[in-house]
């Protein structure tokens, strides 16, 4: 029998976010702040009170003027509250955005605003469209909610404008507060929607060069919509289980735009994925997809301006999992379309590159199985693979003799997407982790599991829609199995970590003698083109 080490079974509250739990007298002062005053303790279970969440899942950080609280581009899912001082948010503009020729950005926006709001003689942005008087966030203001919800890179740099203290709430604590407190959830959701619209416009090449006050004015006239939900993985898995042999994802994907619909707005995908479809008689065919930052409607609005006819959607759009959409009224983009989109030699406005892609079967394969989510998927060329298992042995050799993937998986044509963590664009496995044991590497975005804080609850295993996480018997550094005082094995979650921290990249790729394995981004059309 293998030697074992007896330990206390890991629990939810074992590893506080700070070095020590926040003292309860400090928790009381924090809970008395207006930002938390609306939280009703009666809405929470007796064993999960908001004070306990603040004590265990929060930490207080202080910064001098000019210091970064966090930088744009890093992966982080914490929510922040300003305790005192002030924070300035600096949104990164789109890189390499094309310069706009012709009239100035300000002039075309002002003309567009007059088109949409006839009767306004002179614009008072603060009065008419609610432009805030300052960019500064003050005491009780919340920030960081966009990335907390979407699990994406920080969209802005948060800088202390003066000596500042903030409360950082790690995701498990933020999730519990949002789940149990209706008032807190409504407040954060409202912030998320308003900030999403403004940041989406700032990061769009279409709106580069527009002054801040004008951009806020446009944002105030845009519409935010969510199609689907952040918890899409559980819905998707349930639908597949109900019809294992006849699951038709299109039957369940929310409609965003109907083909032939009159387009009063430009549709900008803020986060998530959307399927572009073409309807022929009673059949809907996949012809492309949109990912964050891409739009539907530019070509149609351009053609309408050229011909004088109505702008009708040339294709339909459905949410894949979930899609957050910013709808920008057409009168704000009409002049911009003329300025920023040059007509081609045949006088037609260009469509998305996705619409020119002809691999319909490949598109259906990655979208129907939600593999579009994968940024580091393990693709195996079965015409090269000889089943030698060198890749499996190499993985085991670098992970305590326990391989972190299965060569079986989703197959299409000559390729198989193996059951190995894809390090998803939307890593739904980390959403419900009770301790924050699953995180994204701040720089690379690789999805990693901290064995020290994993309590073996298997929540992540059940959340992954690709069967890429499994539970294994935990070991200590000496290879001894860990058991609790009753002799029951301690379990921990395990998956591919891309050999993070080891030189040379993933061992599986390096070990394959036939170059049959590659790690690929399934959101890129170049990857899908390999299936031809």
361-378 confidence digits (pLDDT tens) = 888 899 999 999 999 999
237 within domain boundaries? yes
Q: Which of 335, 356, 377 is the last residue of a domain?
A: 356
Model pLDDT, residue 222? 95
Q: Check whether residue 250 and residue 345 sit in a common domain.
A: yes
Model pLDDT, residue 404? 95
Of 57-61, 307-311, 336-340, 472-476, the range with the lowest mean pLDDT is 336-340
Of 335, 317, 333, which is closest to residue 325 (Cα–Cα)?
Answer: 317
Token pair listed for 50: 């908001």
471 within domain boundaries? yes
| Maximum average pLDDT range among 100-109, 191-200, 239-248, 300-309 | 191-200
Q: Is the pLDDT of residue 352 over 60?
A: no
Mean pLDDT of the 474-486 span: 89
Of 470, 242, 467, which is closest to residue 370 (Cα–Cα)?
Answer: 467
pTM of the model: 0.86
Q: Angle CA(140)–CA(142)–CA(146) in degrees, nearest 5?
A: 175
Residue 492 · residue 453 · CB < 8 Å: no
Backbone angles phi, psi at 76, to 5 degrees: -165, 140
341 within domain boundaries? yes
Of 38-42, 130-134, 287-291, 391-395, the range with the lowest mean pLDDT is 130-134
Q: Is the pLDDT of residue 103 over 60?
A: no
Model pLDDT, residue 306? 81
Look at strands 316-329 and 223-228 and give their pairing. antiparallel
How many DSSP H helices and E strands does the chain contain? 18, 24
Residue 2's pLDDT band (boundaries 50, 70, 90)? low
Residue 466 · residue 489 · CB < 8 Å: no
23 within domain boundaries? no
169 within domain boundaries? yes
**CATH code, domain with 246:** 2.60.120.10
In the chain the first and final C-alpha atoms are separated, in Å, by 52
Mean pLDDT of the 414-440 span: 95
Q: Is the pLDDT of residue 341 over 70?
A: no
Report the side by side order of strands in the sheet with 142-143. 58-63, 164-169, 79-84, 142-143
Distance CA 37, CA 31 (A): 6
Q: Check whether residue 168 and residue 50 sit in a common domain.
A: yes
Q: Is the pLDDT of residue 354 over 60?
A: no
Token pair listed for 300: 């149609």
Model pLDDT, residue 527? 73
Q: Check whether residue 374 and residue 510 sit in a common domain.
A: yes
12 within domain boundaries? no
Q: Check whether residue 212 and residue 270 sit in a common domain.
A: no
377 within domain boundaries? yes
Q: Check whether residue 375 and residue 504 sit in a common domain.
A: yes
Domain of residue 149 covers 33-221
Model pLDDT, residue 64? 97
Of 462, 459, 461, which is closest to residue 470 (Cα–Cα)?
Answer: 461
Residue listed under structure tokens 């007896």: 6
Q: Check whether residue 95 and residue 213 sit in a common domain.
A: yes
Q: Which of 177, 199, 221 is the last residue of a domain?
A: 221
Whole-number mean pLDDT of the chain?
86
Of 141, 119, 132, which is closest to residue 36 (Cα–Cα)?
Answer: 141
Q: Check whether residue 424 and residue 302 sit in a common domain.
A: no
3-state secondary structure of 324: strand
Maximum Cα interatomic distance, the chain, rounded to a whole number of Å? 86
Q: Check whether residue 247 and residue 338 sit in a common domain.
A: yes
Distance CA 495, CA 456 (A): 13
Residue 296 · residue 257 · CB < 8 Å: yes
Return left, alpha or beta for 138; rule: phi > 0 is left, psi -120 to 50 is alpha, else beta: beta
Q: What percentage of the chain exceeds 90 in pLDDT? A: 65
Domain count, the chain: 3
Q: Which residue has the higher pLDDT, 242 or 35?
A: 35
Residue 214 · residue 110 · CB < 8 Å: yes
Residue 426 · residue 321 · CB < 8 Å: yes
Distance CA 42, CA 50 (A): 10
Instruction: Report DSSP letters for 181-237, one per residue.
Output: -HHHHHHHHHHHHHHHHHHHHHH-GGGTT--HHHHHHHHHH-EEEEEE-TTHHHHHH
Beta strands in 213-354 (DSSP E): 223-228, 255-257, 265-280, 283-291, 295-296, 316-329
40 within domain boundaries? yes
Distance CA 238, CA 519 (A): 29
Q: Is the pLDDT of residue 425 over 60?
A: yes
Q: Is the pLDDT of residue 440 over 50?
A: yes
Model pLDDT, residue 456? 95
Distance CA 360, CA 358 (A): 6
Q: What is the pLDDT of residues 177-209, one digit of tens each?
A: 999 999 999 999 999 999 999 999 988 888 877
Model pLDDT, residue 133? 35
Q: Check whether residue 527 and residue 378 sit in a common domain.
A: yes
Distance CA 120, CA 523 (A): 44
Residue 450 · residue 470 · CB < 8 Å: no
Q: Check whether residue 346 and residue 298 sit in a common domain.
A: yes
Model pLDDT, residue 531? 64
Q: Is the pLDDT of residue 511 over 50?
A: yes
Model pLDDT, residue 45? 96
Cβ neighbours of residue 128 closer than 8 Å, sequence gap 6 or more: 117, 120, 217
Measured between alpha carbons, how far is residue 81 from residues 34, 66, 75, 134 in Å? Answer: 11, 18, 18, 17
Model pLDDT, residue 335? 64
Bridge partners of 6, per DSSP, are 483
Of 136-145, 227-236, 488-497, the range with the lowest mean pLDDT is 227-236
Q: Check whether residue 393 and residue 527 sit in a common domain.
A: yes
Residue listed under structure tokens 């907390």: 148
Q: Which of 221, 254, 289 is the last residue of a domain?
A: 221
Q: Check whether residue 291 and residue 372 sit in a common domain.
A: no
């Amino acid at each position: 029998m293998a030697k074992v080490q007896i330990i206390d079974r890991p629990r939810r509250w074992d590893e506080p976010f700070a070095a020590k739990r926040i003292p309860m007298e400090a928790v009381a002062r924090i809970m008395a702040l207006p930002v938390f005053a609306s939280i009703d303790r009666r809405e929470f279970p007796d064993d999960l009170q908001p004070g306990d969440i603040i004590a265990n899942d929060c930490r207080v950080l202080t910064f001098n003027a000019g210091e970064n609280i966090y930088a744009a581009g890093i992966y982080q899912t914490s929510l922040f509250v300003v305790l005192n001082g002030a924070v300035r948010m600096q949104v990164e503009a789109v890189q390499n955005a094309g310069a706009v020729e012709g009239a100035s950005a300000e002039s075309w926006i002002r003309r567009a605003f007059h088109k949409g709001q006839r009767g306004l003689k002179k614009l008072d942005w603060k009065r008419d469209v609610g432009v805030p008087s300052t960019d500064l966030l003050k005491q009780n203001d919340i920030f960081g909610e966009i990335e907390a919800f979407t699990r994406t890179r920080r969209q802005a740099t948060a800088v202390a404008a003066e000596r500042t203290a903030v409360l950082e709430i790690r995701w498990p604590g933020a999730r519990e507060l949002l789940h149990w407190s209706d008032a807190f959830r409504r407040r954060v959701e409202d912030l998320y929607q308003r900030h999403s619209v403004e940041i989406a416009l700032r990061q769009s090449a279409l709106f580069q060069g527009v002054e801040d006050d004008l951009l806020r004015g446009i944002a105030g006239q845009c519409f935010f919509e969510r199609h689907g939900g952040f918890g899409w993985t559980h819905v998707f898995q349930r639908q597949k289980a109900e019809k294992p042999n006849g699951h038709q994802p299109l039957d369940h994907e929310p409609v965003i735009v109907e083909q032939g619909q009159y387009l009063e707005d430009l549709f900008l995908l803020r986060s998530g994925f959307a399927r572009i479809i073409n309807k022929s008689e009673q059949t809907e065919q996949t012809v492309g997809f949109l990912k964050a930052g891409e739009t539907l409607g530019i070509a149609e609005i351009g053609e309408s301006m050229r011909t004088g006819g109505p702008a009708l959607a040339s294709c339909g759009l459905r949410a894949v999992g979930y899609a957050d959409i910013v709808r920008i009224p057409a009168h704000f983009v009409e002049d911009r379309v003329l300025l920023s989109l040059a007509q081609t030699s045949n006088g037609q406005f260009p469509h998305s590159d996705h619409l020119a892609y002809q691999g319909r079967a490949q598109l259906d394969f990655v979208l129907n199985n939600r593999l579009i989510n994968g940024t580091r998927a393990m693709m195996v060329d079965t015409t090269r693979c000889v089943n030698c298992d060198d890749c499996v042995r190499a993985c085991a050799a670098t992970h305590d003799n326990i391989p972190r993937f299965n060569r079986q998986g989703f197959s299409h044509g000559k390729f198989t997407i193996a059951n190995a963590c894809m390090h998803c664009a939307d890593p739904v496995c980390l959403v419900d982790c009770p301790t924050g044991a699953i995180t994204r590497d701040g720089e690379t975005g690789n999805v990693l599991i901290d064995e020290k804080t994993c309590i073996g609850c298997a929540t992540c295993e059940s959340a992954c829609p690709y069967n890429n996480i499994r539970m294994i018997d935990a070991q200590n550094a000496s290879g001894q199995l860990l058991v609790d005082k009753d002799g029951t094995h301690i379990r921990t979650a395990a998956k591919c970590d891309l050999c993070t921290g080891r030189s040379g990249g993933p061992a599986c790729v390096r070990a394959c003698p036939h170059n049959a394995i590659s790690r690929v981004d399934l959101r890129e059309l170049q990857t899908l083109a390999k299936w031809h």
